[in-house]
Structure 1
Amino acid sequence: MAVRLVMSAPDTGGGVRVKICGLTTAADVLAAAQAGAAYGGFVFFPRSPRNLSIPQARDLALLAPVGLAKVALTVDADDALLDAILAEVPIDILQLHGKESPARVSEIRARYGLPVMKAVGVASEEDLPALDNYSQVADMLLVDAKAPKGSALPGGNGLAFDWRLIAGRRWSRPWMLAGGLTPANVAEAVRLTGARQVDVSSGVESAPGIKDPALIAAFVAAVA
């Protein structure tokens, strides 16, 4: 029931749904829930400062109250890793943040029976057709800033893209805006893009991987 609700992502009325990604402590989970976030993200990517082991993620996911959808962020994960995560961690949504092909997205969706969110990096108009392609196979799109060349991380770099590139655009699936969002700029990003869902990680941190509960609350309040 909760997953069906969050995946509907209405485009009109109400506040903007917020995803706080890269939760690493019990305090993070509670801060996200208390602020009113709709989604909490757990990162399974060793090069990220927000990376969790499967036991760590399991413990945090079990703390999450009803109403906070639990998202597993993976990067080009094979079936063995996905099997291991889902055997232990009560996940609601799989977020694919690597170079997964549309065929791989379809395969994962069919294999696990969970909603799949596909991240697509945007830096210029040349990147926009990929959003149309992935909208045919994913349950939700994450429209993110493309990582700079040589970056060790596919996301969570604190970079924004030109939001005017997607102003007025809509896809056949719900979508979420990410990339360089902060409490100071998220309202403007929503205004320019029409986004009804937003994702933040580094923008609510005091240091890489260290969430600040005051910034989490301010971020959610900015789009409430």
Structure 2
Amino acid sequence: MAKLKFSQSLDELERRIGFRVADRARLERALTHASHRAAKGATNYERLEFLGDRVLGLVVSEKLFEMFPKSSEGDLSLKLNQLVSADACAEIADAVGLPDFIRHGGGDLKKMPADSTRNIRADVVESLIAAIYLGNGLDDARRFILRFWADKLGAAATARRDPKTALQEWVHTRTTVPPRYEIVARTGPDHDPIFTVRTVIDGLAPAEGQGRSRRLAEQEAATAILIREAVWKEDEA
């Protein structure tokens, strides 16, 4: 976008999100990184990011609760963690076009490697949510979140999750030690083997799975634990 005065760029941001943010000073703060020369004291986005993270979690949790009435607490937590992750928030920042508006001491974020700016982009989405919430109320914050997270929420409703990924995410909420997969047996002829694999997780009883490849056996073993621990239901596996 062409270079605009910051006040003009805020008008453009409000056009993109579809409504005005009541507190203009707070909106400016939500877009200001601590490294920027305008950031003095608490005039950067860090406190707003803290609050916005909680508002985002509330709105997405509420929507998941509504969308998946049969899902367990564990499965809802897995979906929530994915939807509010730094990667997801950074993608939303790009969809809104927030890098056009972020004030950063290092210059234009769009000219920096995406990996190096991921957390900044994610944080600013959350601080923007807080600015909307504090200035306009929860209804507008919810409207913003449900609009820009619509595709991700839709994907969560239709995707069949990889059981090993789902198990690792669930285990991560309990411990930093990831699941281990051990080959228990390999039977059958070389051209058509059957693998038996055991999944081992600290503090839980192991589970086994079988398949015509090691990968399939690992997925079956992961699925067995997800069902046994009520993270998944039988009809969701």
Name the TM-score, length of structure 2 as normaliser: 0.21
- Structure with bigger strand share is 1
Q: Which has the higher helix share?
A: 2
Q: Greater RCO between the two (CA within 8 Å, min separation 6)?
A: 1
